[in-house]
Amino acid sequence: MDKFNPVAYTTRLCLTLNLLPQDVTKILNMFNKISTHPQWESSRSNRGLLVDCAYIHCVNIGKNISVEKMKSITKKEFGAGTQPRPNKWRGGYGLQSIIKPL
Is 98 within a domain? no
Evaluate whether residue 76 is within a structural domain: yes
Residue 29 belongs to a domain with what CATH number? Answer: 1.10.472
Give the range of the structural domain holding residue 77, as residue numbers without chain letter. Answer: 6-88
Q: Inform me whether the pLDDT recorded for 102 exceeds 50.
A: no
> Is 33 inside any structural domain?
yes
Q: Is 94 helix (H, G, I), strand (E, B) or coil?
A: coil
Contact 50, 102 (CB under 8 A): no
For residues 90 and 38, the model is more confident at 38
- Mean pLDDT of the residues in the chain: 86
Q: Give 9 or 3, the one with higher predicted confidence.
A: 9
Given a contact cutoff of 8 angstroms between Cβ atoms, the answer to whether 46 and 35 are in contact is yes
Q: How many domains does the chain have?
A: 1
Residue 93 within any structural domain of the chain: no
Of residues 51 and 89, more confidence is placed in: 51
In a domain, 94, yes or no: no
Question: What's the sign of the alpha-carbon dihedral 80, 14, 28, 61?
Answer: negative
For 7, 12, 49, 92, 98, the CA distances from 16, given in Å and listed in that order, are: 14, 6, 18, 31, 25
Could you report the per-residue pLDDT of 8-57, keeping only the tens digit for each? Answer: 999 999 999 999 999 999 999 999 988 888 877 777 889 999 999 999 99
The band of 94, judged by pLDDT with boundaries at 50, 70 and 90, is low
- For 54-86, the pLDDT digits (tens) are 999 999 999 999 999 999 999 999 999 999 988
